[in-house]
Amino acid sequence: MIFLHGGGDHPESREVTFGRFVSAATAVSGCRLAMIVVGETKAQANESYEAYRNIFTQLASPPDEMFPVLLFDGQGIGKQLDDIDCTAVFVCGGMTPLYGQMLCQDLSWLEYVQANKLPYGGTSAGAAIASEQALLGGWLAERGGTTRDVIFRGASEGLDPITVKSGLGLVRFTIDVHASQMGTLTRLIHAVEMGLTTDGWAIDENTAVFLTDNKLEINGRGQAYHVWSAEDGQVCLTIHTA
């Protein structure tokens, strides 16, 4: 199963979003959840880990079943997942370009996840990098020599032009997050129109897209927006709710 969460943490949505992922992680033989966090410093990564650990603890996940994989200062995952012997992998949120840099340039760590058919969960940045063509951020689009704003700068992830790079390749479609709350749906629409990707989903906060056996399901409080390029080049959009 692949779990893609649009960010945020409304308590009333936990059971049908994060809770569904916990159920998948414990379906076979208990839970040993590897929680991957990327930060600019160890302190930043650890602070983020504690925040997400609290979410899972509120869902009755025992703290001793959660194992932090903290990445900072350029180091990679190495054999940490194998050493944990995890039953699922959850990639937390943060700065999407940094997650892309740390997790998408060397994909050897995914061999363990795929070989053991582990559920993958990602929220915010962890969801965005799951795609073949990962939308890392940006707030400007250039057409015909003219550059225009497409979203407010605060949602740019520190990037100026809309930026799409190779991601983890776990899903074929591109993902943007915080869709309604941060206006990133607009960024995805422009990315498709500009040909940076041909198919994508923008996911609201407190909303999750689940993929199991090529079946897509939406749960949570918000919407998921499907944006794709039709054969005639037109950009199409549909709105989906739980």
pLDDT on residue 102: 93
Cα separation, 111 vs 123, in Å, equals 21
**Residue 27: pLDDT over 70:** no
Cα separation, 93 vs 124, in Å, equals 5
Nearest to 129 by CA among 169, 156, 74: 169
**Residue 60: pLDDT over 90:** no
Average pLDDT of span 20-32: 80
Paired tokens of 162: 């809309």
Q: Are 7 and 155 in contact (CB under 8 A)?
A: no
Indicate the helix (H) or strand (E) that contains 123. strand 120-123
The residue written with tokens 């603890």 in the block is 57
Question: What percent of the chain is modeled with pLDDT above 90?
Answer: 79
Query: What is the band of 18 on the pLDDT scale with cuts at 50, 70, 90?
Result: very high
Domain 2-241 class?
Answer: alpha beta
Query: What is the band of 140 on the pLDDT scale with cuts at 50, 70, 90?
Result: very high
**Residue 128: pLDDT over 70:** yes
pLDDT on residue 84: 87
Q: Is 138 left (phi over 0), alpha (psi -120 to 50) or beta?
A: left
- Burial pattern 120-155, b for ≥16 Cβ within 10 A else e, equals bbbbbbbbbbbbbbbbbbbbbbeeeeeeeebbeeeb
What is the pLDDT of the chain when averaged over all its residues?
A: 93
The residue written with tokens 């041909």 in the block is 198
Helix 42-58 vs helix 18-25: angle between axes, to the nearest 10 degrees? 90
pLDDT on residue 242: 87
**Residue 24: pLDDT over 70:** yes
Nearest to 183 by CA among 156, 213, 145: 156
| β-pair partners for 66 | 33
